[in-house]
Amino acid sequence: MNIRRRCYKIYWRLQSVIAPSLKYSQTIYEEILRKYSTAKKYWLDLGCGHQLLPPWRADQEREVVQHVKLLVGLDYDFKSLMKHKTIHHRIQGDISVLHFADNCFDLVTSNMVIEHLKEPKTQLAEVFRVLKPGGILIFHTPNILGYDTTIARLAPKPLIGKLIYFFQSRKEEDVFPAYYRLNSHNSIKKAAISIGFQIKHIRLIVSTAQLVMIPPLVILELMFIRALMTGYCKPFRTNIIAILQKPNFE
pLDDT at position 55: 85
pLDDT for the residue numbered 167: 52
Answer whether residue 194 is part of any domain. yes
Residue 217 has pLDDT above 80, yes or no: yes
How far from each other are the two terminal CA atoms of the chain, in whole angstroms? 60
Question: pTM for this structure?
Answer: 0.91
User: Which pLDDT band holds residue 199 (cuts at 50, 70, 90)?
Assistant: very high
Confidence bin at 40 (pLDDT 50/70/90): confident
199 occurs within a structural domain: yes
- Please check the confidence at residue 134 and state whether its pLDDT lies above 80: yes
Average pLDDT, the chain: 90
- The answer to whether residue 156 sits within a structural domain is yes
Predicted confidence (pLDDT) at residue 222 exceeds the cutoff of 70: yes
Assess if residue 7 is contained within a domain. Answer: no
Give the residue numbers spanning the domain of 184: 23-204+233-245
State mean pLDDT over 57-68.
Answer: 90
| The pLDDT of residue 154 is above 80 | no
Specify the CATH number for the domain of residue 107.
Answer: 3.40.50.150
Return the percentage of the chain with pLDDT > 70, whole number: 90
Q: Rank 73-82, 106-115, 163-172 by mean pLDDT and report only the highest.
A: 106-115
Domain assignment present for residue 3? The answer is: no
pLDDT of residue 168: 56
Does residue 80 form part of some domain?
A: yes
For the residues 6-11, what does the mean pLDDT come to?
Answer: 93
Mean pLDDT, residues 74-98? 91
Count of structural domains, the chain: 1
In a domain, 48, yes or no: yes
Domain contains 60: yes
Checking if the pLDDT of 175 tops 70, the result is no
